[in-house]
Structure 1
Amino acid sequence: MLDNENGSEVSDTRSAAWDEYAQTKPQRRPTNARGESTWFNWTQYADHGPGAEVLDLEPGETALDLGCGAGGNAAHLAGLGMRAVGIDLSPKQLAKARDRWPDVNGMELHQGDVLAYLGDTRTVFDAIYSVFGAGWFSDPALLLPIIHANLKPGGVFAMSQRPPIEGCYGCQASYIPRGPDEDPAVVKRWDYEPDLWVLILKEYGYVDVSASVIAPPPGIRRTGTLLVRGVRGG
């Protein structure tokens, strides 16, 4: 694993907010229900939903995880023989990744802002993805064009997030708890219905676009997971 800092410490309020969030998240389980030490999970539920096949990757190809957190999905792709690059604003999340996956070959971690990273990198990726990450918390008018520019023709972009609350669309506020004497940290997220996500991706040049809600596991009366996928046309 290469731990490659982006050359400047990110000190804005978003970085601090995601550091606060990192403290509330436990490490991924040692193994999943099938006994696997790495796995890919798009949803907020354990052992549920599709896996890495959504990205249509082959060994030796390169994937970028936008908001990689503690690195579980990127580590799984690296274990399958891909070059997995992860970027996250939170140093504490990346510290968890370094602690959990110290010996994973083929995984790089970068600390910083995804838009800045995508604007600076010369790498053209075979797939770019976000699992409850920067795809949800970045303005699509800024993010989708620069992702498109950094995908090879035929490359996949996919992201998952919670479905929108009915009537609450566009830029919304998410609140991350802090100390008992502090107001919650506020970060922006972008919520749209599946049909509108399809139109938005098509507007920015993606083809074969799909967006649908994955139902929660049977017996769970909670929200499902919105999965959006598009391909960079030739």
Structure 2
Amino acid sequence: MEAVTAAWERYAAGRTPRRTHNAAGATTWLNWTQYADHGPDESVIGEIHGRRVLELGCGTGCNLAHLSTLGAQCVGIDIAPTQREKAAARWGHLPGLSFRTAEATEFLAAHPDSFDVVLSIFGPVWFIDPTTLLPLVRQSLTAGGAFVFSHKPPRPDPQPGEPLREARAVSRWDHSPCKWAALLESARFANITTEIIDPPHGEREGTLVVRAEAREERIGRPARQS
């Protein structure tokens, strides 16, 4: 785990902070894709106001800060300690928003049935074996809660578990939309949608956005004794 934390610390050190304003002049906004001012907004999630939201791999907290301004109660976790420091310094003044240093699977295991929405924007969903992560996400969601994540589409010959070039000691799970749908269904998710967002003009690579809902479990009634 120390090697993984160190890898993400190195990665975070090379990242450029998000702009103070986007092209529309907004000071907060949600960006699902790897391109500035491109792609869908928070409407992908559904209802926001009053919802309890967890972001896995929140980085410097910019996406989560936007949801906080819309009335959500937000928690962001990141494995890199310096990310929490940057997020708190920039967004700590916003109400209903907190940041923690935590590993995703450990945090999820400790918080069952705690959130209405779980997000991962180029975050741990891409970097943790989904057979381990997805059941924990489902466990942390209330019934009917939304799970939304994005990352780059898989390459022509994806190799699940392949090391990530940008952050050594980290593996990446590249899956097609159909494979993600199958994995989510097996982890007790329903109403699954997948979409590859086309890139802006001049770019070649789109963005995969996946949304699912925690399946509402029906508790069977005991058989009546005759």
Q: Shared fold (TM-score greater than 0.5)? A: yes
The aligned counterpart of 2:61 is 71
**Do residues 231 (structure 1) and 221 (structure 2) align?**
no
* Distance (Å, rounded) in 2 between the aligned partners of 1:18 and 1:222: 26
* Distance (Å, rounded) in 2 between the aligned partners of 1:91 and 1:211: 32
Q: Return the offset for 1:75.
A: 0.5
The aligned counterpart of 2:199 is 216
* Distance (Å, rounded) in 1 between the aligned partners of 2:151 and 2:196: 9
Percent of aligned pairs with the same amino acid: 38
Name the SS of the counterpart of 1:167 in structure 2: coil
The aligned counterpart of 1:42 is 32
CA distance 1:128–1:68, shift in 2 (3 Å): same
* Distance (Å, rounded) in 2 between the aligned partners of 1:155 and 1:26: 32
- Any idea what the Cα deviations from partners look like across 1:178-211, whole Å, max 9, x if unmatched? xxxxxxx231111111111111111111111111
Name the SS of the counterpart of 1:69 in structure 2: coil
The aligned counterpart of 1:129 is 119
- Give 1:205's aligned amino acid: R
Please say if residues 20 and 176 of structure 1, whose CA atoms lie closer than 8 Å, have aligned partners that are also in contact.
no
The aligned counterpart of 1:207 is 190
Structure with higher strand content: 1
* Distance (Å, rounded) in 2 between the aligned partners of 1:25 and 1:69: 10
Q: Return the offset for 1:122.
A: 4.9
Q: Return the offset for 1:222.
A: 2.2
RMSD: 1.3
The aligned counterpart of 2:106 is 116
CA distance 1:33–1:43, shift in 2 (3 Å): same
- Give 1:95's aligned amino acid: E
Name the SS of the counterpart of 1:47 in structure 2: coil
Counterparts in 2 of 1:61-100, with a 5 A limit? 61-100=51-90
**Do residues 198 (structure 1) and 181 (structure 2) align?**
yes
**Do residues 149 (structure 1) and 144 (structure 2) align?**
no
Structure 2 unaligned blocks of 5 or more: 217-226
Please say if residues 176 and 186 of structure 1, whose CA atoms lie closer than 8 Å, have aligned partners that are also in contact.
no
The aligned counterpart of 1:5 is none
Structure number, greater radius of gyration? 2
2:93 to 83, 103, 113: 103
Please say if residues 122 and 149 of structure 2, whose CA atoms lie closer than 8 Å, have aligned partners that are also in contact.
yes
* Distance (Å, rounded) in 2 between the aligned partners of 1:200 and 1:169: 16
Structure 1 unaligned blocks of 5 or more: 1-10, 178-184
Q: Using structure 1 for the length normalisation, give the TM-score.
A: 0.89
- Any idea what the Cα deviations from partners look like across 1:91-110, whole Å, max 9, x if unmatched? 11122212221311111111
Aligned residues: 216
Which aligned runs of 4 or more in structure 1 are off by greater than 3 angstroms?
none
